Structures are given as structure tokens and as C-alpha cells.
Amino acid sequence: MQGYLRSDGRKGIRNVVAVIYTVECSHHVATRIAAGLEDDVHVIGFGGCYPNDYAAMMLERLATHPNVGAVLIVSLGCEGFDRAELARRVAHTGRPVHTLVVQQEGGTRATIEAGRAWVTAAREQIRSVARVPISLGDLVVGTICGGSDSTSGITANPAVGIAFDRMAAAGATVIFEETGELIGCEYRMAERAVTPELGQELIAAVQKAEAYYKVLGHGSFAAGNAEGGLTTIEEKSLGAYAKSGHGPIVGVVKPGDIPAHPGCYLLDVIPDGEVRWGFPNINDNAEAAELMACGAHLILFTTGRGSVVGSAIAPIVKVCANPETYDRMADDMDVNAGRVIRGLGTLAEVGDEIIALVREVADGRQTASEQMGHQEFVLTYKSFDPVGPACLPLVQVASGTAAG
């Protein structure tokens, strides 16, 4: 496998130009700048006008993601987002970066023309980024599920769990999340924690999710799940939990925390403090963005009923749980885990196939969603407190301090 070496020592598996809008009012201009260019120009951004530390952190992490080679910032001009600070942080990494302000450039048409010219030049410039060998130990792999049905927990999810265990054993960093779909599994996770203190943090993360959803009157069990044969949130939680595997859990991170050690991590996606920003994750792409902000190079997406979404910046690998769904939607899927139901393979074999595909995607093979041109992205308002030392026991051991 060959990757792109970045100034912080991380290695990317893609070399995209990120076109970032800093308010919804510049979203259209950013989209038109990228329109018609190659698949290596991706649009991401934040729609809110009111400033938010979480959104600023997320865009900084994504703009300096190892899969990103250059950044164009597109601002309207009067929003609250600190575009100058974002540009400064990107420039510090050595990446080409440029800012266009619509109100200063002369409006929509002039900004689009200037943006397309800059992106075209930047694409040529970043082709000279050094290519270096990469291994599984260099990769951060995330997982999410969407469109779950009664097959998800018996094929795709446990197959990803097998792949997670094997990749972590090979030195990779793997991250699972969806704490709102882990209710009832928190004590099982705690048993896998590398320290008792971390076990308590895992329990607390799930209990926070449960309390948050109770206040909202909202949960992670949807009508589509019931139509697909799932009966309760407990049943769905067991399936979601299976994606994490059976190996040791070495830490809890929050969006934007980049794990310093390999192993398996839980990503806590539920905002801290009182409920004030609405639903913690409004769709699968909001979760994908948070995994990417933690450095995920690619994401394993399990689905039973079928999902067609992809992602900007990090490739999405679709692992289909239901063989009938795969038959209908093969063009959108990468792995047919549902063949286990038909007696055409084992979970271990599907796990091996997933790892082989991770290697191929890391080496440049396009996933189905990439081939279809999917680059969905969602970023909303949230608020988080920093993780405590008990959440990262390996960091504490390395630094010679005790967790607590």
C-alpha cells in the first residue's frame, strides 16, 4: 500500500482538495466551484451563522485530515466563523490554503471563477506530495450502521467485529460509536476495558446517551428498523455492539480527539452538559464526520435495508447484511455479508474479505459510493467537555501518570 505523507507524520489514503463553506450562505458557491471537477475535490462546511467551538474544531480537524492535500475556504464575509484562524491552522501544516470572501470578490460568479482557478492550480501542486508505504498499523478505521434490519446483527455487524479485532491486533486503530444504540451493552463493554476506571467511563458514556434521549423524547430506534424486522432498542443495541468485536477496549474519545495509540476505542458522540443543541446525531453522515475528525481514513458502514450514502474525504465501505438487499442494490455495496445466511460463507471469511478490501481501498481502489460520486457531509451544533485521564489509560501509562 502507498499513502500520502503529511507534515504531522500521518499518512493519507486520498489526496483531495477540500472546499469549505463557513456558512450556509456560501454553500452554493462552494458547490459550484467543485462542480464538474474530478472526484478529488470535496465540499464540506458548516451552515450555522452563530459561532460554535465544536464546529470550528471539526472543520480544523477535517481540513488537516491526512486524506486532505489542499484547502479552499469560501466565506460570505459577515458570518461569525473565524475563517482567518482556520486558514492559519491549515497553513501551519504546510498544505496549500486560500480564502475567498464572496462579499469582497464581487459576488457569486466572480467567486466561482476565482475558486475554480485556485482549485485547478492546487490539484496540480499537491500531485507532488510524497508517496510512502503504509500498513494496517498506519490506519484509523471507523464503523457506523444505517438502515439496520433483523439481519444486521447476525451477519454484517459481527463480521465487522471480527475485522476490528484482527486489525487492532495488527496495530491498527479502530473506532466504534453510536452510544445511543449501545444501551444495555455498557457493562459488557466495561468488562473489555483495559482498566476498571475506563470501564466506568464506558458505562457513563452510554448512561449519558440514555438520559439525553429521554429528555429529547427521541431514540435511535426508527420505524424503518421495525419494518426491517427489529423489535426493540435492546435487539438493535446488541447488533450495533457486535461491530466493536470482542477484543480489549483501550479508550474513550470525543469528536476531534485523535487516538495516540493503536487499539479499539469508543467514540462518545453525545453532547455534554444540559440538552441545548437538539438531536445529538441527525443522520449517518453526521456520525461519519465525527469519525473522520478523529482521523478515520475510511469507514465500514453496515446496512441491512440498504443505504446509498457515501462521504466526503473518507471512503465509505458498504457491508450489506441482507442478501436480498444485496441482490437489489449490488451497485451500491462493497461486501455481501448476507451470503452467510445463504450458507455461502462464514463470518470469519467475511471478516477476512473486509480486511482485504480495507487494504485495497487504502491503496487507491474506489469504493462503490466513491464510484457513484457520493460525497455527503453534515455538521451541526454541539458542545463537548474534554475527556478525562481515565478515558485514555494508555496515554497515562506512556506519560507515567496514573489514571483516575
pLDDT of residue 221: 54
Element (H, E) at 131: strand 131-133
- Strands, sheet with 2-5, edge to edge from the N-terminal-most edge strand: 11-12, 2-5, 131-133
- pLDDT, tens digit, for every residue of 7-57? 999 999 999 999 999 999 999 999 999 998 878 999 999 999 998 999 999
d(CA 97, CA 118): 9
Highest-pLDDT range among 156-170, 175-189, 221-235: 156-170
Give ranges for CATH 3.40.50.2300 in the chain.
Answer: 2-132
Grid cell for residue 344: 455461502
Residue 43 contacts residue 31 (beta carbons within 8 Å):
yes
Of 220, 261, 214, 267, the closest CA to residue 387 belongs to 267
Helices 347-362 and 156-169 meet at what angle, rounded to 10?
60
What 3-state class would DSSP assign to 112?
Answer: helix
**pTM for the structure as a whole:** 0.93
Total Cβ atoms within 10 A of residue 345: 18
- pLDDT, tens digit, for every residue of 117-175? 999 999 999 999 989 999 999 999 999 998 878 888 889 999 999 999 999 999 999 99
pLDDT of residue 313: 97
Above 50 in pLDDT, residue 404?
Answer: no
Of 335, 330, 291, 283, the closest CA to residue 309 belongs to 283
**CATH, range 2-132:** 3.40.50.2300
d(CA 374, CA 368): 9
DSSP code of residue 366: P
- pLDDT, tens digit, for every residue of 337-360? 999 999 999 999 999 999 999 999
Phi, psi of 260 (to 5 degrees): -90, -15
Burial pattern 180-206, b for ≥16 Cβ within 10 A else e, equals bbbbbbbeebbebbbbebbbebbebbb
Over the chain, what is the mean pLDDT?
92
Of 142, 140, 156, the closest CA to residue 307 belongs to 156
DSSP code of residue 170: T
* CA 5, chain centre distance (Å): 20
Above 80 in pLDDT, residue 227?
Answer: no
